[in-house]
Structure 1
């Protein structure tokens, strides 16, 4: 790029601790550093055992464990968690798990202002963003607020060893989606572009390794490192068509988060590709390919991920409603978002076609 370019990059106060075994040792240290003495630990049902270990490490500083996190953060689930935090007299929150747990922690922070410590166990990346999401009446709303940005993030690759391979794959490709859209976001910057390309390279190289050897701690660590970079990109930029499509499919139609991102990403990228040659070149370098949309789909399919939205329960009869919702509100995207274009993306993803770049 030339340095006559015009850009801005904003950093936010967040401390990252990255080391194996850190969930048990670093979380109490981070709580002490933040001067927090009454922490509520939140998680989902799948991550409850890990959350209990973290709660145990906190000892008397833990005032409760709330294991009710759910995908897309239904507003009634957030209401209950806020009530629990207030009743316990919590002065902070620790979210242990994937995007659902971190999302619930953010909902508590949004309503109460309590500082948040995040302990990710997947590659979702939301722990590195000030973005929150809540689903009410089958509509997912998102927003940005510095108060929901975790004050500390503890990355422990050992926690991802028990993450099943199918979920590891879709969670990792979900992370890639953040970096892909950051490369062509209207508020991207040279630093974001570097992080995005490196994040894509790290995750794409790690996923086949951990799929072949799920106990490979080095591969797990590299995937987590890549997800950290991809999540940082998500936090620094404005997302476009891909994320809007996935929010609609998740919030309105209840499709699973990571799997939906995995299926949609190659088609959203193929749609935007003609308008983003520099971003496409960076992705081709990171993926060592000449066709980035197809390479992303081949990666996910080769590792056993779902091939189509139909496999996730999406019905062809819902195509028009989904397209209307995706195009219902304006948002930045490098290529104009048209009803016909969105319908084409959704239909191709629904059927699991080969992604093709068209002008």
Structure 2
């Protein structure tokens, strides 16, 4: 009898324990950031006032802060988790390290669809915002992938990024063109286009919750299929996987997630780019661990960006879309330079 298999089993067990410990740390970090978000605002409110409001005591200042900050924190966590998870799925589906709902123009496509619905079709119901945003995100994804696939070499990472960037700029310009003649909606739309979680309410959270839950469920069920797709289409097909169906279902979950987030928060960029890359450094390329890590990391990043925006611009605030752009733009440049070096 030999025990040659035991060391590998022990190593695998250590990796699982390490990954589980990191996930628990991320959960704790999200919880701490949620407390910070509730306690932090453009106006100073003491912990005693907040605790009194949470306990139902008559404290007008504390109750006002809790009423605004709790839904805002929940929305930031949900939107961040959705964007981080959507970015990880897009990178897995396209095998493109530059894939991100913002960089590929998906968020701006969803935003343009919502603005057209409001301006031209008098769209006003909450459900219609979400449905139209998801439809716009889906059509944009197909359009960008088709454009990026033209020419020699197919859909290379750089071609997809360029096609997405061009589409994003074009859709932003078209959105402005739609909004300019409409003074009645211009102010709200321009503020929403920056991307933020201010003005969050429980009604808005309830509006996107069904789409978010379906998107999360489908994404998690696609983890094993994404692992097979990472081996290459031919290998995945040889292992019995229906490649086109697997890619389409996973992409649908990403479209639902970023469409729902954009419907309420506006187009927020770079979360889906930064978070999955950091999570790969912690967990490797196994999507069964990468996807939940990306969701937790996205929630943590967006809550932190929201808290930072409230702190550095007191007594006003910076929208999270501006803060994430400051973080994500240098990261994007680094990824592009790294990718070009590998291709040389």
Range of TM-score over shorter length? under 0.3
TM-score by length of 2: 0.25
Q: Determine which structure has more spread, i.e. the larger CA radius of gyration.
A: 2
With a CA cutoff of 8 Å and minimum separation of 6, indicate the structure with the bigger relative contact order.
2
**Which structure shows the bigger proportion of residues in strand conformation?**
1
TM-score by length of 1: 0.25
